[in-house]
Amino acid sequence: MLAFWSVFFAPVLAGITALVGAFWLARSTHWRLLDHPNARSLHERPIPRTGGFAVLSGLAVGSVGLALFVAELPPLLKILPFGLLPLAAISWLDDRHGVAAWQRLAVHGVAAGSLIIAGLSIPGLELLPVWATMSLTGLFVVWMINLYNFMDGMDGFAGGMAVIGFTTLAWLGRADIGFVAISLIIAAASAGFLVSNFPPARLFLGDTGSTTLGFLAAALSLWGSQADLFPLWAALWVFSPFIVDATVTLLRRLAQGERVWEGHRSHYYQRLVLLGWGHRCTVLAEYVLMLTSAGSAVLAVQWWPDRLFVLVLGGGGVYGLLMWGVAWLEQRPLDQQAKD
């Protein structure tokens, strides 16, 4: 009963809930918090940014459904609310009124701390002092929360990464049915939201949804690697389309002396949209990259678990080539870009 319900009915319930919730939120006049276009955004008309509540509702209903049909819940499911609730609350306040960066980061630290207190940490750091392991784990979680928020700037992008990423984690962690259940519940809730977010988007995640997905990506990556379901590098590679773009962009902006806490349009996916690719073409190209990254992570775990350097060198070369390609397109004459 556990296997049947957890890998089928609970995710389906989560997906349907998120689908209905997103459909309602996109048209609701009572929850009409709009994201208005500005100089740093890519959309051209006001769009509701309450889609995070559709994802959260899907997660809640799917989790409750799972709890009704299993004798014992997976430990992580009991831990996640302690990080998710304050994270969702501060993100909602930020969506509505704006919150100081230090206040957001403080709550992000609380969310990271909830996972550390629960015993999750980055594997392989046993020789370091406990405080160093805890600090590095906390930084990892906080960075995953923020990078997912940074990358939520294009129709269908963050939702698509969640569907592909968490589905892949479910496959990598298939030895643990509880891990599979939670991963598929998150993927299904994201898929339900994605129907209203695929270009042209009728609903945005908002900070409430993007920080939630970033936190969950960090939590499941740590859980799966610490439980020896898969190595941590495999989870990082699954989410590498987000990790590489966000990290390289941050380092480049730091090197140029920019205020990295302010909004911008210099991520590689944003630059492609501005080059005239548009949301749909760019996000479909990104889906190909996500599927390639996910597939290579699965193959690497199965065939080359002791040859990580092969994946790093090959994947690093591909990412380097893609980044060079974007820069090359930007240097082309405007009339030639228009023809392309």
- Residues 274-326: tens digit of each pLDDT: 888 888 999 999 999 999 999 999 998 887 666 677 777 888 899 999 999 99
pLDDT of residue 77: 82
101 or 37: which carries more pLDDT confidence? 101
Query: At 147, is the pLDDT very low, low, confident or very high (cuts 50, 70, 90)?
Result: very high
Mean pLDDT of 227-243: 95
Number of helices followed by number of strands (H, E) in the chain: 15, 2
The whole-number average pLDDT for the span 195-199 is: 94
Report the share of the chain in percent with pLDDT over 90. Answer: 61
Token pair, residue 241, equals 């389309």
Contact between residue 304 and residue 311 where contact means Cβ atoms under 8 Å apart: yes
Q: Where are the domains of the chain?
A: 2-339
Going by pLDDT thresholds of 50, 70 and 90, the confidence category of residue 34 is confident
Mean per-residue pLDDT, 184-211: 95
pTM (predicted TM-score): 0.92
Report the alpha-carbon distance of residue 147 to residue 142 in Å, rounded.
9
Is residue 200 reached through a cis peptide bond, with omega within 30 degrees of 0 on the bond before it?
A: yes
Burial tier of 30 (Cβ tally within 10 Å: 0-12, 13-18, 19+): exposed
Residue 21's contacts (CB-CB under 8 Å, 6 or more residues apart) are: 53, 54, 57, 58, 192, 193
pLDDT tens for 35-68 read 656 656 565 677 888 999 999 999 999 999 888 8
- Joined together, the tokens standing for residue 187 give 């993927």
